[in-house]
Structure 1
C-alpha cells in the first residue's frame, strides 16, 4: 500500500522563478567576462590596427549575435521547455542531432567553459599576487565546488548571486567608460591607415571577418538562457525580451569600452603595448585616471565579471544533462530534481566533476578552441531550424517571430559558415576533434535508444 502510494507520488518539478531582469542578468553575466579587458587587443590587431574597422568588428559581432538570439527567441517562445538548443534541434531535425549537441555540451561545452573561467580568475590576480600553477588549479577547483553548491540550493539563490555580482561588476566598467569617453584627450582616428587603403575590398572584408571571429568569443554564451526557459515566468514573452536586452546591452558595453580606450590612450601607446604582449588595455585606462589604485579596480572588476560568468554557466549548462535524461537518453538519475530546492542536483554534481577533471588536465587555449568550433556548428543548425520549423509546423502558435525574416536567417548562416571555415583551415586538429565529439555522441544516442528504456515523464 505504502509502496504503491510512493510510486504514484508526483515527481518534483523545476520552479519558475526567473523573470526578464534575472534572465538578462544570466546572459550578461556569462557574456561579459574577463574577455572585455583583452579581446579588444586581438580585434584591433586583426583589423590592421584600424580603430574604425575594430569598432565595426565589435558592432558586427554584436549584430551576428543578435541575429542568432532572434532565432532562439522564436524557437524558445514557441517551445518554452528546459533544454534550449537540445530541444529545438531534436524537433527540427532528429532526436539524434539534438543529442549530438547535448553530448558535446556535456563533455566539452559546459564543463570546458566552466573550467576555463575558473582557471582564468586566479590567473587574473597574478599581477597583484604570486600565484603558482598548482594554486591556480586549487583555487579553480574550489570555485567550481562553491558555485555548484550555490546553484544546488535553488535557482532563486543562484539568481540572487547572479544579479548581485552583475550589478557590482558593471559599475567599474561604466566608470572606465565614462572617464575614458568624457575625459580622454585623444580623438580616435577612424580612417584607414596607408597599408589598409592599398588592400582590395575582398582583402579588407576578409580581414574584418577575422576580427569579428575574435569579437564573437567575447559574445560567447548567448545561447544559454534558453536552457532554463522551463524555469522562467511567462517565457513566451519574457524569453525574447531578456535575449534582446542582454545582447543589445552587451554590444553597447563592448563598443563603448573600446572607444574609451581609444579616447584615453595614444595610438603609439596602444601599438607598443600590444606589440609587447600587454593586452589588458583597460588596465592602462584605469591607471591613467586613478593611478596605482586602477590596477586594484580592474582586478576587482575582472573577478566580479568572471564570478558572475562562472555562476551563470554552472546554472545553465547542467540543464542539458537534465533534458537528455528526461528523454531517456541518459541514466535516470540525471533527471533527478531535489525535493526541497527544486534543482537538477545530480546533473549539477556531475557537471562539477567533469569541470574539475578538465581544469586539472587542460589549459585555457585547449579548452576555448574546442568550445568555439563545436558551438558554432550547432548555433548555425539552430538558426536554420527556424525556417524548417515554419515549414514542418506552420500552425503552431508563435508568440514571437524573427524580425527581418528570411534575411536574418541568411546573414546569420553565412556568418557562422565564415567562422567554421576560418577555424577549420587555421586549426584543423582542433576542428576534427570538435567534429568527432558530436559523432561519438551519436553512437551513445543509439546505445541508450536500444538498450535503455525511456523514463516516464508524465
Structure 2
C-alpha cells in the first residue's frame, strides 16, 4: 500500500481561472437540473393545491438557500482554499469532522449525485427513444466517462462546457416562461388559502403545510454548496466567491418562481389538479404542448437533457476536489493530490471518482441514490452553517473580506431549515438515513487509521 507522503514542492498547482460568471454558471448548472420540470407538482400538492402558497414556498426555499450560501460566502472568503466544506469543518470543529464529510462525499455524495443524474438523463429520453434498463445504464456510464475526460482536459475546458450548456438550457426555459406569462389565458388564484379539503386550516397545520412544501422546493435548490469546492481555482475568491454565490442562487430563485407562475397562467387549475392526481408531474411539458404542439414536447425534452448535462458536468468538476483536498492534508494516498502537469487538473481524483460513480450506476437505482445523497448532505450543510458562529468566536480578529448579512438571524433560520429537512427525511426513510450516518462514522475510523499510519511512517 502506498504511503501518504507529502507532495514535492515542485508539484504543479491548480489553475486560478474561474471568475464570477464562470462560478455562477457552475452552480446554476448544478441547481437547475431536471427537477425544475416536475418538483413544482410536489410543491403545489404539499401546499394544499394553493398556487399562492406554492409560490411562497418557492420563495422561502430560495431565501433559505440564499441564507445558507451567505454563510458559505463568509467561510469561503475567509479561507478560499480548494475543498470547501471539508476545509471549513476541519477549521471549525476538528480535522476528523472535515474528513467525515469528505469520506461521505467520496463514497456517497459526489459519485452518488453523478450516478443519479447520469441515470436520470437517458430515462428522460425514454418517451422519445425506447430504451431498456441495460441501455439506460450503458448510456449513463458513457456520459460519466465523456464528462470526466472533458474536465480532465482543464478546469477552463470544464467551465467553458458548463457555460455553453447553461446558456442552451436556459433559452427553452425562458421561452416557456414568456409563453406562459404573456400568452397564458388564465388568471391564477394566488391567495394563501389551501384548497378546500386538503388539510388542516389551524395555525399549526398551516405552518406544517408550508414547511412541507418548502422542503420539496429545497430539493430543487440542492447543489448550492459545491462552488466552494473549487474556491482555490477562482480568481480573487475573496470578492468573486460571495458574488457568484449570491448571483447564482438569486437567478435560480427567480427562474423557479417565474417558471411555476407561467404554468399557472398557461394551464387551467382543473387540468393541473387532474395531471397531478394521475402522477403526470411534468407540467412544463403540458405548457409547451399547449402552445407549440409536438414541437413543444421535443423542446422540453431537449431542455431537460441540456439541464442534466450541465448539472452532470458541474458535479464532476466540483466533487473531485474533495479527494484532492484530503490528499493534500495527508489523509489519502498522495496520488489523489496529483495534478496533471499539462492540464493542471487533479487527474487521479477525477478518474477514481469516475470509477466509483460507474460502480454505483451498476449497483443502485435512481431513487436509492437520490434519497441517500439528500440526507447525508444535509447533515454537513447544517454543520457548515453553524461553523460561522464557531469561527467568529474562535478567530474573532481573522480577516473576513465578506460577512454574513443580518447575523445571527441568517444562521438561525438556515439552521432551522436544515433540521426540518433532516427530521423529515429520517421519518420518511429511516433505513437510508441510518446508512447516511454510518458512512461518515466509517470515515472517522479511516481518518484515525491514516493519521496513525502517517505518523508511524514519519517517525
Aligned to 2:49: 49
Aligned to 2:155: 155
Deviation at 1:318, TM superposition (A): 0.3
Is 1:52–1:189's contact at 8 Å kept on the other side of the alignment?
Answer: yes
Aligned to 2:448: 446
* CA–CA distance in structure 2, aligned partners of residues 229 and 8 of structure 1: 22
Structure 1 residue 420 corresponds to structure 2 residue 384: no
Contiguous gaps of at least 5 residues in structure 2: 1-6
Number of aligned residue pairs? 450
Aligned to 1:4: none
Deviation at 1:452, TM superposition (A): 2.5
Deviation at 1:196, TM superposition (A): 5.3
Name the SS of the counterpart of 1:126 in structure 2: coil
Name the SS of the counterpart of 1:353 in structure 2: helix
* CA–CA distance in structure 1, aligned partners of residues 94 and 9 of structure 2: 32
Aligned to 1:211: 213
Aligned to 2:104: 104
Q: Deviations over 1:351-373 (max 9, x none)?
A: 00000010111111110101111
1:74–1:454: structure 2 CA closer, same or farther, 3 Å change rule? farther
Aligned to 2:242: 240
* CA–CA distance in structure 2, aligned partners of residues 375 and 213 of structure 1: 14
Contiguous gaps of at least 5 residues in structure 1: 1-6
Deviation at 1:453, TM superposition (A): 4.8
Deviation at 1:211, TM superposition (A): 1.2
Deviation at 1:194, TM superposition (A): 2.7
1:350–1:396: structure 2 CA closer, same or farther, 3 Å change rule? same
Give the TM-score of the pair, scaled to structure 1: 0.97
Aligned to 1:3: none
Task: Identify the range of structure 1 (210-219 vs 401-410) with the bigger mean alpha-carbon deviation.
Answer: 210-219
Structure 1 residue 394 corresponds to structure 2 residue 372: no
Task: Identify the range of structure 1 (8-17 vs 303-312) with the bigger mean alpha-carbon deviation.
Answer: 8-17
Q: Deviations over 1:378-425 (max 9, x none)?
A: 101100000000010011100000000000011110111111111111
Is 1:83–1:226's contact at 8 Å kept on the other side of the alignment?
Answer: yes
* CA–CA distance in structure 1, aligned partners of residues 17 and 114 of structure 2: 23
Aligned to 1:84: 84
* CA–CA distance in structure 2, aligned partners of residues 204 and 327 of structure 1: 48
Q: Deviations over 1:154-207 (max 9, x none)?
A: 001101100000000100000000000111011111222233585211111111
**1:32-43 maps to which residues of 2 (within 5 A)?**
32-43=32-43
Aligned to 2:299: 297
Is 1:328–1:455's contact at 8 Å kept on the other side of the alignment?
Answer: no
Deviation at 1:427, TM superposition (A): 1.2
- The equivalent position to 2:333 in structure 1, one of 331, 334, 357, is 331
Aligned to 1:25: 25
Deviation at 1:430, TM superposition (A): 1.1
1:219–1:9: structure 2 CA closer, same or farther, 3 Å change rule? closer
Structure 1 residue 385 corresponds to structure 2 residue 387: yes
1:8–1:119: structure 2 CA closer, same or farther, 3 Å change rule? closer
Aligned to 2:4: none
Aligned to 1:373: 375
**1:6-17 maps to which residues of 2 (within 5 A)?**
10-17=10-17
Aligned to 1:129: 129
1:203–1:9: structure 2 CA closer, same or farther, 3 Å change rule? closer
* CA–CA distance in structure 2, aligned partners of residues 271 and 196 of structure 1: 12
1:454–1:276: structure 2 CA closer, same or farther, 3 Å change rule? farther
1:318–1:198: structure 2 CA closer, same or farther, 3 Å change rule? closer
1:265–1:356: structure 2 CA closer, same or farther, 3 Å change rule? same
Is 2:378–2:421's contact at 8 Å kept on the other side of the alignment?
Answer: yes
Aligned to 1:403: 405
* CA–CA distance in structure 1, aligned partners of residues 128 and 50 of structure 2: 32
Q: Deviations over 1:58-84 (max 9, x none)?
A: 111111100000000000000000000
Is 2:200–2:206's contact at 8 Å kept on the other side of the alignment?
Answer: no
Is 2:199–2:205's contact at 8 Å kept on the other side of the alignment?
Answer: no
Is 2:49–2:198's contact at 8 Å kept on the other side of the alignment?
Answer: no
* CA–CA distance in structure 2, aligned partners of residues 8 and 327 of structure 1: 13
